[in-house]
Structure 1
Amino acid sequence: MTPTLPLDRPWLSHYEAGVPHDFTPSDRTLPQVLERAASQFPDRVALEFLGAKTTYRQLLQDALRFASALQSLGVRPGERVAIMLPNCPQFVVAFYGTLLAGAVAVNTSPLYTPNELQHQLRDSSSETLVMLDAFFPRYQEIAGNVSVKRVIVTGIQDALPFPKNILYPIKARKDGTWVNVKAGGTVHGYKALLGRQAPRPQPVALRSQDLALLQYTGGTTGVPKGAMLTHRNLIANSEQSRAWMSDLKEGQEITLAAIPFFHVYGMTVAMNLSVLIGATIVLVPNPRDIPMVLAQIQASGATLFPGVPTLYNAINNHPDTPRFKLTSIRACISGSAPLMAETARRFREITGGANLVEGYGLTETSPVTHVNPIFGEQHEGSIGLPLPGVDALVMNNQEQPVAPGEIGELWVAGPQVMLGYWQKPEETAKTMREAYGRTWLLTGDMAVMDEDGYFRIVDRKKELIIAGGFNIYPREVEEVLMKHPAVLEAAAVGVPDTYRGESVHAVVVLKPGQQATEADVIAHCRTELSAYKVPRSVEFRSELPKTAVGKILRRQLASEACEARTV
C-alpha cells in the first residue's frame, strides 16, 4: 500500500475558480507542441524581433530545416547540442530543431567566460555548439580543449528584415563590436546552412520520457551541475503554468520575452508556455536595456510579462517609465529571486493594476513549483501555493514533517522534477529522496507553510546568518532595507564577528540622485528589526553582482566583504 502524504493539501481550498485540483501531464513531446501550434495557428505571428515577424508555420519549417541541418552534419539522437544565444529567433529555431533531430539541448549562458564555457562543454560532452558571432572569440580560446566537432554561427543580422540586416553590421563595426567569423572546416554559417536544407529531417521516434535538456544550475551553490530534464518535465511545467493562469486565451496572448531563454524560467514561462497556447513572443535580446523593454511593451500591447524582481525594480525606477503606456499587461509572474513587497506594489501602481505575483522554482523542477493566485488571495511575502500536481513538505533535520508555522527545509514532488544530475549520481543522491510513494527534491531552501497552505521562503540553508546563536534570514533584513526611500537594491550577508560568530552586513545601491549614510540605513533598520538582526555595517555600491538572469549573488558579496576586512 502506498504511504499517504502526511498533510491534507490545505492549499487546494485556496485555488482560484477554474484551476484544477488534479493534474496529469500530457504524453506529448516538445516538437509535438510546436506542431500543434503550427496546425492551429499557422498564420499567427509566433516571433516578433526588432521588426521581423515569423509565423508559427514558418517557425516549424525553420525548426525542421535546422533538424535536417544537424542530421546532415552527423548529429545523432541523444547527442548534446549546446545553444549559446540571446533571445532571438535563432534560439527558438535551434532549440526545437535540436529536439526534432532527437538530440539533447544544452542551454549555455552568453555571459560565460571561456573557462565557464569550457567546463560546460566538457561536462556535457557537447559536440555541436550553436552561438552568436559576437561570442566566437571566447570559443576560440578553448577550442582545443573541448570535444566540439562543429560550430554553427549566426548573427543578429540573420534575423532582421531589410534594410536593418544591412545596417546592423555597419553600426556594429562603427561601435567596435563586430566580429567577422568565416565559415569553413568545422564552422558553419547558420543562414547558409538552413538555406541548403529541406524541411524534411529523418523521422526520430521521440518519447515524453526522453531527455530533452541539460539545464545547468547557476553555480551559486558550487560547481554548476546539469539538471536532466525530459520532454515530460518541461511540458508538464508549461501545462501546470497554463492551468494556473486559467483565463489565458489561446491564439490571442502576447508575451514580452525579456527574461533569457537560456535560463529555465524564461524557457518554460516565456517560450514553451507561449508556444503551448499559440501566443506571440516578443523577443528582447537585452533585458538590461530598459527603454527598449518599455518601448516593446507599449508597441506590442504585451499581455504577459514574466520576469525577475531586478527587472521590475529597474522599470519602477527608470526615468523613462512615465512616458510609456504599460496598461496592456494583465499578468506577471516574478521568479528566480525573492520579490520585495515594495517592488510589487510600485509596479502594480505604474501599470494601472497589472497582477505581479511572486512564484518560486528551481532549475531541477523545470522550474516552477509555487505561485501566488493571479487574481485570487495573495499573501504578501509568500511564494504562494503549490501548482496543480505538486506536493510540498516542510521537513526538519531528521527528515520529518513539521507543523504549519514551523521552519524547515522545503521538499517538493511533481511531474516536473528532474531525472537527476548529469553524470553525478552522488550529487543526485544528496538531492533526491523516495518517501510517501513519491520522488522528492530537497530544495535547500528554508520555508514555512501557514494553515492555509501558503508557503514562504525564509532563505537558503547555506545563506542563513547565525549571530550570537540567533538565526537571521537575509530576506527579512532585505525587505526592511528596501523600504528605505533612498534604496534601489539591497542584500544582507553574514560576515565573521569575534563576539557574535557572525554579524549582518548590508550592501546597498541607492536610487539615482538619492543620498544616505551608513548611520541613516542602520537607524531605519532599528525601527523594524530586533537588535540582533540590525546590520552592523553598511556598504554602498553602484551595482550588485548578479547571475545572468538577475539573481543577486549573496555568496560573492559575503566573500568580498570578508576579504575587505582582512586586508
Structure 2
Amino acid sequence: MENKFEFHFATIWEKVADYVPDDIALVSGENKKNWREYEQTSAKIASFLKDRGIKKNSKVGLYLFNCNEYLESQFATFKVMGVPINVNYRYKSEELIYLLDNSDSEAVFFHESYLDQILLIYKNLPNIKTWIQIGGKESPDIDNFFLYENIILSNEPMERIKRDEDNIYMIYTGGTTGMPKGVMYTHGSFVISMFGGLKMQGYEVPDVRKKENILQLKEVIQKRSHENNSTRCLIACPLMHGTGMFLGGFMTHCLGGSIITIPEIGLNPSKLLKEIELNKVNNLVIVGDAFAKPILNELDLGLKNNNPYDIGSLQIIISSGVIWSADVKAGILKHHDVKLFDSMGSSEGGMGSSVSSRKKSVKTAKFRMNPDVIVLGDDGKIVEPGSGVRGLVGTSGLVPLGYYKDPVKSAETFKEVNGKRYSFPGDYALVESDGSVTLLGRGSNCINSAGEKIYPEEVEEALKLDPSIDDVLVVGVEDEKYGQKVVAVASFNKGMDITEDDLKANTKAHLSSYKVPKNIKFVEKVSRAPNGKADYKWAKELAKEFINV
C-alpha cells in the first residue's frame, strides 16, 4: 500500500506522473507532452539547478510568456525546493532590476525574445549566477548564460527527494508604493487550499484536511482518466498572474489534467475559441470582462456569419481579478449552458465566489462569502448583514506568512481579529441581508486595468520626469474595454509645453506601456489640499468630463 506523502506541489505532481504517465500534461500550439515527459524534462532541469546551487527557498525568476517551458521551469524549481518568481514580461529595465533584486533571485529563465532586455540589466544583478535562455540556436557567449535545450540534453533526471511542507511558495504582486511585493505562503497550506478550491468548484476530490486522505488521490485521478473526464484547461490569462497559475495551473495539475496555453502575448479571441474546439477544452480560465467581452463578441460574430464556434466541450469558465458583469455572462450563456465560476480574491487570499448558469443568474460583483471570511467596519466591528455599512474584507482561510522583506506592510495587512489571524488586502464590500457580499473595490486609489494593478504615484513620478511637466495626478476612469483606464491631469512648467502624444512617448521610456495614460488632460494648475496632498476626487471628475464618461 502506498505510504502517505508530503503536501508539496512537486511531490504531488511526481505522483500524478506515476498514476497517469501517458495522459497529456502540457499543450502549447503543436508542442504536447504527456505526464511522463513533463516530469522527466523537469527532473533534468532540476539536476542542473541543483548543480548551480539552487536549494530550499532559493529564488528563481520566470521571465516568460505562456508556454510549456514556463510550467517545466516552475516544476523543476519546485523539485529542488526553490521558489519560482513570477516576472511581468511587460516590465522595462528599472522594473525588472527592482523585482529580481528585491526577490533575491539567483537564477532566471527567460525567452529568447527578451534577450535584448536581459543584456541591458544582467550586469546590474551580480547575485544572479545563472541565466537560462529558452528558444534560439545559441545563447550569448557570456559566463553564466545557458541554453534551455542544451540543459535538457546534457543532464540526467534528478532523483526524487523528500520535501518540506514549510517550503516557501511566493507570488509577486503590486504594493502600495507601486513596486511589486512578494506574498509568501507555504506549500503545505497552499496545497490544502487548492484542493478546497477544487471542491468548491464541484470536483470530487479528497478532503485533505485529514492528511491520510491524500492517498485517495490516485483513485480519483485514475478514475477521471479512465472515464476520459480529465480536466483540459485552457489558461487564457498570463501564468505570471495568480488567476492563471492558481485557478488554472495548480488546480489542473493537482487533478492530473492537461494545461493548454497559447504561446503568444495578448488575447486573440478567434484563436482561443479554435483551441477550445481543437483540444476539446472543458475548463477555461479568464480575467473578467477584459477577456469575456472580446470572447463574447467573437462568438456573436461567428453566429452572425453562419459559422458558429463549437464550445460544447466547455463545462466551466473560471474568472478572477476583474469585474465580470452580469450582462456579459448572460451573453455567453446564450451560446452554451456552461458553469460560470466568478472568484473574488487576490494574491493575499480568496474571499468569495459566485456561480452562474442558464438556470441561475447573479448580479455583477455579488459573491457568496467563503467560510472564515469577515467584513470589518471602520469602527473595528464585524459588519452585520443588510446594515448598509461599508467594510474591509478579511479572510482567515489561507493567510500568507507575510510580504517578503516588508514587515511593516505585513503587519498592516495580516492581523488578528478575536484571536484569529486574517488577511486584509484592501477590498471593501457591503454585506447584503442574505449574507452575500457586493464588492466595492479597493479602498486605495489603485487602478485595475485589464487585470493589471497600476499605482498612480508611480505613473505620476514617471510623467514628471519630463521637464515640461510641473505637477500631475493620475486616476482610473471606468472603461468598457479595460475595466478602468489610466487618465492623467497635468500642468506645465512656466513657459513650457508638450503634446499629449509626445508626453506619452517620453513616459514609455520609464514605464511599461500598460501603465502609460491613455488620455492626458492639461490644466493651468493641479488642485491639491493646503497640506500638499493630492485632490484625487477633483482629478477624477475632471478626467471623466474630459473623456465624456
- Scaled by the length of structure 2, the TM-score of the pair is 0.73
Paired position in structure 2 for 1:433? 415
Which of 341, 345, 364 is 1:381 aligned to?
364
Contact 1:131-1:152 at 8 Å conserved across structures = yes
| CA distances 1:94-118 after superposition (whole Å, capped 9, x unpaired) | 1111011121111111111111110
The separation in 1 between residues aligned to 2:253 and 2:175, in whole angstroms, is: 29
* Residue 151 (structure 1) aligned with residue 131 (structure 2): yes
Paired position in structure 2 for 1:394? 375
Paired position in structure 2 for 1:163? none
Contact 2:383-2:431 at 8 Å conserved across structures = no
Structure with the larger RCO, 1 or 2 (CA within 8 Å, 6+ apart):
1
Contact 1:340-1:381 at 8 Å conserved across structures = yes
Which of 408, 416, 419 is 2:401 aligned to?
419
Q: Read off the aligned partner of 1:140 and give its amino acid letter.
A: L
Which structure 2 residues correspond to residues 479-490 of structure 1 after superposition, within 5 A? none
| CA distances 1:204-249 after superposition (whole Å, capped 9, x unpaired) | x422222022x11135762211111221343233212210122468
Gaps of 5+ in 2: 205-222, 457-472, 483-512, 527-549
1:415 to 1:30, Cα distance in 2 relative to 1, 3 A: farther
* Residue 94 (structure 1) aligned with residue 73 (structure 2): yes
1:343 to 1:445, Cα distance in 2 relative to 1, 3 A: same
Which of 320, 326, 335 is 2:311 aligned to?
326
| CA distances 1:266-300 after superposition (whole Å, capped 9, x unpaired) | 11111111111111211122341222211101111
Shift in Å at residue 79 of structure 1?
1.1
| CA distances 1:473-508 after superposition (whole Å, capped 9, x unpaired) | x99xx9xxxxxxxxxxxx9x9xxxxxxxx9x99554
Select between 128-137 and 229-238 the one with higher mean Cα deviation: 229-238
| CA distances 1:15-54 after superposition (whole Å, capped 9, x unpaired) | xxxxxxxxxxx95111122022112211100111212211
Contact 1:228-1:420 at 8 Å conserved across structures = yes
Contact 2:282-2:315 at 8 Å conserved across structures = yes
- Aligned to 1:443, the other structure's residue is in SS state coil
Paired position in structure 2 for 1:458? 440
Contact 2:232-2:280 at 8 Å conserved across structures = yes
The separation in 1 between residues aligned to 2:328 and 2:525, in whole angstroms, is: 35
The separation in 1 between residues aligned to 2:525 and 2:189, in whole angstroms, is: 46
Paired position in structure 1 for 2:224? 250
1:301 to 1:109, Cα distance in 2 relative to 1, 3 A: same
Contact 2:292-2:324 at 8 Å conserved across structures = no
Contact 2:11-2:163 at 8 Å conserved across structures = no
Paired position in structure 1 for 2:489? none
Which of 311, 322, 328 is 1:343 aligned to?
328
Paired position in structure 1 for 2:163? 206
CA RMSD, Structure 1 to Structure 2 (Å): 3.2
Select between 116-125 and 283-292 the one with higher mean Cα deviation: 283-292
* Residue 222 (structure 1) aligned with residue 178 (structure 2): yes
Select between 373-382 and 185-194 the one with higher mean Cα deviation: 373-382
Which structure 2 residues correspond to residues 129-528 of structure 1 after superposition, within 5 A? 129-146=108-125, 147-155=127-135, 181-182=139-140, 184-201=142-159, 203=161, 205-213=162-170, 215-219=171-175, 222-247=178-203, 250-251=224-225, 252-286=230-264, 287-309=266-288, 310-318=290-298, 321-322=302-303, 323=307, 324-350=309-335, 352-365=336-349, 368-373=350-355, 379-387=362-370, 390-405=371-386, 406-463=388-445, 508=479
Paired position in structure 1 for 2:38? 59
The separation in 2 between residues aligned to 1:460 and 1:94, in whole angstroms, is: 33
| CA distances 1:294-334 after superposition (whole Å, capped 9, x unpaired) | 11011111111111121111111237544421222111121
Paired position in structure 1 for 2:91? 112
Q: Read off the aligned partner of 2:186 and give its amino acid letter.
A: T
Shift in Å at residue 154 of structure 1?
0.5
Contact 2:393-2:428 at 8 Å conserved across structures = no
Q: Read off the aligned partner of 1:281 and give its amino acid letter.
A: I
The separation in 1 between residues aligned to 2:203 and 2:296, in whole angstroms, is: 26
- Aligned to 1:58, the other structure's residue is in SS state helix
Percent identity over the alignment is 21
Shift in Å at residue 556 of structure 1?
6.9
* Residue 77 (structure 1) aligned with residue 56 (structure 2): yes
Q: Read off the aligned partner of 1:255 and give its amino acid letter.
A: C
The separation in 2 between residues aligned to 1:420 and 1:409, in whole angstroms, is: 22
Shift in Å at residue 408 of structure 1?
2.8
Select between 227-236 and 431-440 the one with higher mean Cα deviation: 227-236
Contact 1:444-1:460 at 8 Å conserved across structures = yes
1:455 to 1:304, Cα distance in 2 relative to 1, 3 A: same
Q: Read off the aligned partner of 2:363 and give its amino acid letter.
A: E
The separation in 2 between residues aligned to 1:119 and 1:125, in whole angstroms, is: 10
Contact 2:243-2:287 at 8 Å conserved across structures = no
The separation in 2 between residues aligned to 1:130 and 1:409, in whole angstroms, is: 41
- Aligned to 1:217, the other structure's residue is in SS state strand
Contact 1:68-1:198 at 8 Å conserved across structures = yes
The separation in 1 between residues aligned to 2:20 and 2:523, in whole angstroms, is: 58
Contact 1:232-1:416 at 8 Å conserved across structures = no
Paired position in structure 2 for 1:548? none
Shift in Å at residue 379 of structure 1?
3.0
Shift in Å at residue 412 of structure 1?
2.6
Contact 1:315-1:321 at 8 Å conserved across structures = no
Moved over 4 A (4+): 374-378, 504-511, 555-558, 560-567
Shift in Å at residue 409 of structure 1?
3.0
Contact 1:407-1:446 at 8 Å conserved across structures = no
The separation in 1 between residues aligned to 2:122 and 2:425, in whole angstroms, is: 35
1:315 to 1:404, Cα distance in 2 relative to 1, 3 A: same
Contact 1:245-1:374 at 8 Å conserved across structures = no
The separation in 2 between residues aligned to 1:67 and 1:246, in whole angstroms, is: 34
- Aligned to 2:423, the other structure's residue is in SS state strand
- Scaled by the length of structure 1, the TM-score of the pair is 0.71
Shift in Å at residue 346 of structure 1?
1.3
Aligned residues: 440
Paired position in structure 2 for 1:19? none
The separation in 1 between residues aligned to 2:417 and 2:481, in whole angstroms, is: 47
1:27 to 1:439, Cα distance in 2 relative to 1, 3 A: farther
Paired position in structure 2 for 1:4? none
